[in-house]
Structure formats: C-alpha cells, structure tokens
Amino acid sequence: MAIEQLFETLPLHYVQHGISKFGVGNILLAVLVTAAVGVVVDYGWMLYLRSRMPPGPWPLPIVGNTFQLPDNKPWIYFELLSKKYNTPLITFWIGRNPTVWINDAWAANELLDKRAGIYCSRPRMLVFAELGAGQKNLVNMITTTQAERDRFRVQRKLMHQGVGIQQVKRYRDFQNDESKVVAYDMLTTPEDYVAHFERYATSVVSIIGFGRRVADSKDPIITDVIAVMHRAADLNVPGKTFPMLMETFPILAKVPTEIAPWKHGLGARGKSHRGHDFFYTLAKEANENPGHEDCYSKLLFKEAPKYNLHSQEISALAGNLFGAGSDTSSSTLITAILAMRAFPETMIQAWEELDRVVGSERSPSFEDDTNLPYIRAFVKEVFRWRSVAIIGGQPHAPVQDDYYKGWLIPKSTWVQGNVWAIHRNEREFPEPDRFNPSRFMKDSPDARPFPGERGYMTFGWGRRVCSGQALAEQGTWLTVARLVWGFKIEPALDETGNPISVDIFDYTNGLNMRPQPFKVSIKPRSEAIRQTILREGKQALADLAPYEGETKYRMSTFYKENPVKAGFGS
C-alpha cells in the first residue's frame, strides 16, 4: 500500500496527532535518511558490478557517466576510452544502466557472431522503441521468452522472403536499370548527385515493397521518409541531452508529451508509432493494385492469415524496407563520391581494370564481378572507410549472464559494437583514414587478418545483422562500379577558379551518418562513355515503365487527412 493510501485510511485526528507528535522536521529527516540509504545501497551495487565488468570511467551515483559524454559523435569518445584503458571492451554507465562498448573486431566476432544465441535480444529501449518505432518491431524486438523468439523468427522469415540473399537476385534487372538512370541523370544535373542517389535507393525499395518506382527526386515519399530516418538517427545518438536523457531518467518519459518539450513529440497518442498507419496504408494500397503480383506488400497480406499478422506488424515490415534501404544506401553512395574526390589516386587502377574488362560500349554488369577484383575491393573499402551505421545499429542484449576474458556481462545489458573504432584499428587497417582499396586485394602487402569473409562489419552481427545487407551490397557494388566507370570526380571550383577542398571528417552526428554537403565536379570520362550512358539510360527508363505510378498518400499530410487513425498502435 502506498503511503498516501495509508494516510487516506486513517482518521484525520490520528494523522494530525502523529504529525504533531513526531514533527514535520523529523518526518522529513526520516524520508531523507531513507533516500540516502537507498542511494548508498544502490551505488554500492553499481560499484560491485563495475568491479566485475569490463573497465571504464568511474560512475557517479544515479547519473553514472552520463554527463561525461560529448555532445557530438560519442563513438569517437568510446574509441579513445578503449585506447586509454587498453582494452577491447569498456563499460560506460548511462544513469544506473551499464553499456558495454565493443571496440575490437575479434571481440565483436566472438561475442555477437559466435555467441549469437546469447546476444540475440534487444534491451528495453525507451526512446527508439517504446516511444518510437515500437518494441515489437523486428528491429527492436526483445527475445527473452519462447513466445518472443517465435514471433521474432516469423518476422525475420518474412523479411528474408523480401530481401534475403537468394531473393534479391530476382531484383537485379530493375536495380540495374535504376542504377543506369542515376548515371543518366548525372549527365544533366551532376550537382544534384545526392538527390539522384536518394531517388535511386528509395525507388528500388519502393518497387520491392509496393510495386511502383519513384521517378522524381522531389517525390514526397523520398523527402518524407528520408527526413523521418534522419530524425530518428539524430534523436537516438547516445548522449547527455534530451531525448536520450530519458533512458537515464525514465520517469521523465511519463510526463505528458504536450507539456514535455524534451520528448520532441515522442510518445504522443498517434505519434509514438507515427509511421505505422502510413506504411500499412501504402502496403494495403499496393495489395489492392492488380499489377505486380510479386511485390512484398502482397506477400505480407497473403501470409497474414498463416502467421496471424496484425496490421502493425504488416506496417512495420513494409516500413522497415525504407529504413534498411533508402537512407543507408544513398549515404553510402555519397561517401563513395567523397572518397573518389579525396583520393583520386585510387581511381587510376580502377579505370585500367574497367577499361580492360568492360570497355566504353557498355557499362558494368553483375556478371563482371568476378573479373573486377579491384572494383570489388574498392566497394569493400567504401563500406569500411566510413560506415553508415556507425555503431552497428541497435544495441544487443544477452539473454543470460555471460563472461568474456573473465569480465561479467550481465543479462539484459546494453551491448553496442563501435564500428567506428573497429574499422579504424591500425592493427587491421594501417592509416585507417586513408581510403585504400588495396587492403582488400588478395596477396596485397596492405591486407591484414580480419574475422569473417567480408572484411568489414558495416551491417552488424549475428541474428541481428541488417536484413537489407544483401540488397545493399548488391546495389552498391553495381552503382559504384558504374560511377567509377563513367565519371571523373574532380574538385569543384569557386568563383575565382580555385579548387574547393573537401573534409573527410565532416559527417553528420546521427547513428546513420553521411557526409555533410560538399561540392565536386562530375563529368563523363569520354564522349564514347557519355553516349553509352545516354543510350542505356533511355532504355532503362523504357524497361522501368511498367513500374510507373503514384501513391495518393503523403506522410506529411496523412495524419491531418486521416485523424481517425491517430490512435493506431498506441
């Protein structure tokens, strides 16, 4: 029984007599002493856990190390802490909750890949899950019970049916055509290369998910979805500012959103799962369209009775396609352009290989992969050099207590892979900030041992690896190969004719990072190549014509036009 309920059951004169007998001061003192004892006991437990867990900075009572975090790019800070303590794992306390940061490729491989069965779950996530996309979304799903694991397998199976390794090979034709359109558009408006990449990436996943392409870089589906992805990435950077501070002090999340500006609108009725209505409606619209029988939305509605899918699951699975394939893929291509501009010496060997294998009468195709080892290495270095998901996505959480090198990692602890530190460890990648495709060339003196066959950890680990990995790798290889084959990426010139420099460290602060805007000159390498790009681009547009169409829904206006749906998923 709560104290206030106890007082309600007592006659008023007893309460008044008790207060007068013991005095308000004594009561307050008792409360303060009790609180102080509670803090001391709790802090003692924190220090006891700290003595058994991986090393890290000394936490303060209640707040832990929260206020030691920098405001920007905390992954760099965690990399420095790992070097300071000379350890692959560090423990950093966000409030009373410890987070274990893995800053080493071999440790990440041992824990998150080899022990995937233990690190298969997610922790409770207040901001990104409960107030955002939902804890039952495949990306955020906790899998500590058999029922949760069964549901996870269902959603994972359905996602694999959309973008699994074998499935994405079926998408090569239209993915190739959309890539050709990128090159075609860059002939006329090369300065809009970011918009072209966003259109390409969004169009591919839109064809997969909803059976319609995105033809215009100003299509609202691009601007709305990319903006939502950027906002989610920005709001969920581990840090000492709101809204992530609610992870330290969960009670702050209970304040009504309307009077809590620190919640940034999270958790409001109808907004806590804002995308759910929208993506469900897009999927339903696609399902009712008589064309494109093999689009993912139709698969979800077909399988819904078999797996007892509810509308929120259909919405989340359809919406996750955009999360896994639009912002991330376009950001990777922007990084590729930055690398080409900042390290022009890497293009010489690439051009030699492409001219020898492909020539100028056609652009590269998927069938050229085995004959283009340097281009394959070039793309691997793009993934390694500046990975988009810089901390490997959402945190893992062990389903039981685990140990690594004698250190305890308690059950349900936040465990985060620091891809920034992993990909910049000089043991595996000497001169890590130098873009050097030779690192991935067989028998190259620059090659170093690295766990796994890919040589990078861009897409996460274990059972929580990014569902869209195969699609992203397939499309990135082809589009980067085509860009290198087709264009010279050179310095842009200012008003006085001087080259405009670029900064290879000037990236956004979100969890899915991308370069800040920069200017470059993009021109076709030769007239013969320009003519090939024109010819192939026009043919690609003709081949893509069956996917033309437009949805009548806009995320920016959907909830104003459909207020009855405001309570969806809440």
Residue 569 has pLDDT above 50, yes or no: no
Q: For 365-413, what is each residue's pLDDT tens digit?
A: 999 999 999 999 999 999 999 999 999 889 999 999 999 999 999 999 9
Q: Which of 126-135, 313-322, 464-473 has the lowest mean pLDDT?
A: 126-135
Q: What is the pLDDT of residue 258?
A: 82
Q: Which of 232-241, 435-444, 501-510, 541-550 has the lowest mean pLDDT?
A: 232-241
> Residues 177, 540: contact at Cβ < 8 Å?
yes
The average pLDDT across 437-458 equals 95
Q: What is the pLDDT of residue 24?
A: 75
Distances (CA, A) of 451 to 56, 75, 107, 112, 435: 25, 21, 10, 12, 20
Q: What is the pLDDT of residue 324?
A: 67
Residue 349 has pLDDT above 70, yes or no: yes
Q: What is the pLDDT of residue 564?
A: 44
CA angle (321, 317, 391) in 5-degree steps: 60
Q: Give 146-565's CATH code, choosing from 3.40.50.720, 1.10.630.10, 3.30.365.10, 4.10.520.10.
A: 1.10.630.10
pTM: 0.89
The average pLDDT across 120-125 equals 92
pLDDT band at 306 (very low <50, low <70, confident <90, very high): very high
Residue 570 has pLDDT above 50, yes or no: no
Q: Which of 10-19, 30-39, 99-108, 202-211 has the lowest mean pLDDT?
A: 10-19
Domain ranges across the chain: 146-565
The average pLDDT across 473-490 equals 97
Residue 318 has pLDDT above 70, yes or no: yes
| Burial (Cβ within 10 Å: 0-12, 13-18, ≥19) of residue 567 | exposed
> What is the pLDDT of the chain when averaged over all its residues?
89
Length of the chain: 570
Q: What is the pLDDT of residue 556?
A: 65
| Burial (Cβ within 10 Å: 0-12, 13-18, ≥19) of residue 523 | middle
Q: What is the pLDDT of residue 53?
A: 98
Taking Cα atoms as reference points, which of 383, 398, 385 lies closest to residue 469? 383
CA distance 261 to 249: 15
Taking Cα atoms as reference points, which of 165, 155, 163 lies closest to residue 134? 155
Q: For 5-23, what is each residue's pLDDT tens digit?
A: 444 454 555 445 555 556 7
CA angle (5, 9, 15) in 5-degree steps: 95
CA distance 570 to 551: 26
Q: What is the pLDDT of residue 400?
A: 97
pLDDT band at 267 (very low <50, low <70, confident <90, very high): confident
Residue 540 has pLDDT above 80, yes or no: yes
393 compared with 473, residue with greater pLDDT? 473
Question: Pairing between strand 97-102 and 414-417?
Answer: parallel
| Residue 341: alpha-carbon gap to chain centroid | 25
254 compared with 493, residue with greater pLDDT? 493
Q: What is the Cβ-side half-sphere exposure of residue 399, based on CA atoms within 13 angstroms?
A: 16
Q: What is the pLDDT of residue 408?
A: 98
Q: According to the 3-state scheme, what is the secondary structure of 160-208? A: HHHHCCCHHHHHHHHHHHHHHHHHHHHHHCHHHHHHHHHHHHHHHHHHH
Q: For 161-214, what is each residue's pLDDT tens digit?
A: 999 999 999 999 999 999 999 999 999 999 999 999 999 999 999 999 999 999
Q: What is the pLDDT of residue 90?
A: 98
Distances (CA, A) of 207 to 213, 394, 558: 5, 26, 21
Task: Enter the tokens of residue 269.
Answer: 């009725």
158 compared with 266, residue with greater pLDDT? 158
Q: What is the pLDDT of residue 369?
A: 95
CA distance 339 to 387: 12
Asked whether the bond before 243 is cis by omega within 30 degrees of 0, the reply is yes
Residue 102's DSSP bridge partners are 89, 417
Q: For 208-263, what is each residue's pLDDT tens digit?
A: 999 999 999 888 888 777 777 777 777 778 877 777 778 878 888 888 888 888 88
> Residues 434, 405: contact at Cβ < 8 Å?
no
